[in-house]
Structures are given as structure tokens and as C-alpha cells.
């Protein structure tokens, strides 16, 4: 049984997600439909990319992931199918796939009429292109039949090299925790504190290592260093934004 997941910024108050699912099951009845997230902030491609990257590795080989965070729908960006890590990713080539499909084995542009639902609405590629392609893939169609091969995926606009001694914000979760671009390996084993943006964060294992209201830094479930305020909001405390380098320093004494 094929598994098809959905990650969008559509929310839950309209019928957009339901329409996409209807197209998929019309092309591949009996497939298993799974919602990853539909509350991605509107037009926030980076947040969609991060949510997908958090969830996709835990699905079995052959899973088809449909991702629609697409502020440029109907424009010049390509519609693609990417094959990576024995999974298939379907969505706009605007950076939303690049964190989950790192170094893809193959990327194909969705061009073939059979991989689309006609007529294609210029404002709803989620239904008429991505869901249609996913349904056909779930029914067993090979990805290479979708169209021409592409060299790779577009990177995220925020995925820029950072100056030495700085980090950037990858994501802010529902609790206000700040997920940074800093990998655990960059932090020394004897680190006691991280100084970030003028604030000192106690280096810990989890939230309970500090008192309510205190600042704590730790390695999160995504493998990146995260910043939190126990029972509070780190993003409010720091006032940080994505795509801006932030100086950091490890304090070991």
C-alpha cells in the first residue's frame, strides 16, 4: 500500500487539502494518506522545508511526500519530483524540498500531461499538478515518466554561508523555541553557557535543567542547537529573525 503525505500552508478552514486528497485517491485507491502539517505560516517556504525535513526520515522507503508552500504558484518556478533517500518528494522547486531531499538521486520536471489534472488552475497547482502527480506515482508510475531530468533542486534563500562565529535561525516552533543552524559538534563538551545576541543561555540537556522563565540551550530532536525559555518564548526574549547572522560564543568556565 502506497503512503502519501501532505505538508502545506493551507490551514484547516478551507477545502483545499481535501481536494488534493480526492485527486490522489481518484488515481490510486487504497493508498494511505498522512497529514504532516497544514499550519505552516503562510508563504513561509523555509518553515515548510524544515517541517518536512523533521518528519520525512521516519517514513518507510517508497513514501511519496506532497509539499505545497508555494508563494510563486503559476510563475516561473518549476514543478518537480525529487527522488532521495528511497523516498519521493513532489512540490514546487522553490527550496521547500531541499532540506528533506538533500543531494537527490534524481529530479524530474512535471511536464507530461498524464502527471497533471487538466485543466491546470494557475493558482492551485497543489491539486492539479502535485496531487495528480502523487496519485499517479502511488499507482506505480515511474518518476522519470513525468518529464525531463533536472540537475538538482533550488536551495532555500536563507541557506547562505554564515560568518565564522555566527549562526542563523532555521525555524521557530509552536512553543517559541528557536532552532538554530548550529550543529551539536560545534559546541564543546565542557560548555556551560552559550552567549547569543546579548543573552546567556545555560547549556543543558532539556528544559527541566533550568527554572521556569530561565534561558536554556540544548541539542534538539532535529540535531541542531535550540534555544528556549522554560515555559516561555525564546523568540520573544531574543527578538531574532531568520536569514540574519547572529554572533554566538561558548562559555566553558
CATH number of 166-251: 2.40.30.90
Determine phi and psi for 45, rounding to 5 degrees: -60, -40
Q: What is the pLDDT of residue 152?
A: 97
CA angle, 231 as apex, 53 and 58 as ends, to 5°?
A: 20
Q: pTM of the prediction? A: 0.87
β-sheet with 87-92: strand ranges across: 32-37, 3-8, 64-68, 87-92, 79-84, 106-109, 149-150
Q: Which CATH number fits domain 3-150: 3.40.50.300, 3.30.1330.90, 3.40.50.1980, 3.40.50.10790?
A: 3.40.50.10790
- Classified as helix, coil or strand, 41 is coil
Q: What is the pLDDT of residue 218?
A: 94
- Cα 200 to Cα 187: distance, rounded to the nearest angstrom: 15
Which residue did the predictor score with more confidence, 221 or 142? 142
Q: What is the pLDDT of residue 38?
A: 97
Residues 31-57 pLDDT 10s: 999 999 999 999 999 999 999 999 999
Range(s) within the chain of domains with CATH label 2.40.30.90: 166-251
Range(s) within the chain of domains with CATH label 3.40.50.10790: 3-150
- Cα 237 to Cα 157: distance, rounded to the nearest angstrom: 25
Residues 158-179 pLDDT 10s: 545 567 678 888 888 989 999 9
Residues 79-119 pLDDT 10s: 999 999 999 999 999 999 999 999 999 999 999 999 999 99
Quick check: 253 pLDDT over 70? no
Q: What is the pLDDT of residue 170?
A: 85
The arithmetic mean of pLDDT across residues 214-223, rounded, is 92
Amino acid at each position: 500500500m502506497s503512503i502519501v503525505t501532505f505538508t502545506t500552508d493551507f490551514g484547516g478552514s478551507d477545502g483545499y487539502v481535501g481536494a488534493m486528497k480526492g485527486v490522489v485517491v481518484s488515481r490510486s485507491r487504497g493508498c494511505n494518506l498522512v497529514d504532516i502539517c497544514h499550519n505552516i505560516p503562510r508563504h513561509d517556504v523555509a518553515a515548510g522545508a524544515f517541517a518536512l525535513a523533521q518528519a520525512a526520515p521516519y517514513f518507510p522507503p517508497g513514501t511519496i511526500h506532497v509539499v505545497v508552500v508555494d508563494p510563486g504558484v503559476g510563475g516561473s518556478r518549476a514543478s518537480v519530483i525529487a527522488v532521495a533517500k528511497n523516498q519521493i518528494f513532489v512540490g514546487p522547486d522553490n527550496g521547500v524540498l531541499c532540506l528533506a531531499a538533500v543531494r537527490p538521486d534524481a529530479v524530474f520536471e512535471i511536464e507530461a500531461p498524464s502527471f497533471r489534472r487538466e485543466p491546470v488552475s494557475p493558482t492551485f497547482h497543489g491539486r492539479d499538478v502535485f496531487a495528480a502527480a502523487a496519485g499517479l506515482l502511488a499507482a506505480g508510475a515511474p518518476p522519470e515518466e513525468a518529464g525531463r531530468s533536472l540537475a538538482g533542486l533550488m536551495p532555500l534563500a536563507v541557506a547562505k554561508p554564515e560568518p565564522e562565529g555566527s549562526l542563523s535561525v532555521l525555524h521557530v516552533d509552536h512553543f517559541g523555541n528557536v532552532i538554530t543552524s548550529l550543529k551539536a559538534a560545534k559546541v564543546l563538551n565542557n560548555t556551560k553557557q552559550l552567549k547569543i545576541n546579548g543573552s546567556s543561555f545555560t547549556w543543558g540537556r532539556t528544559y527541566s535543567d533550568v527554572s521556569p522563565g530561565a534561558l536554556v540551550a540544548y541539542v534538539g530532536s532535529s540535531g541542531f542547537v535550540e534555544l528556549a525559555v522554560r515555559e516561555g518564548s525564546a523568540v520573544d526574549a531574543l527578538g531574532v529573525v531568520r536569514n540574519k547572522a547572529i554572533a554566538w560564543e561558548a562559555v566553558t568556565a
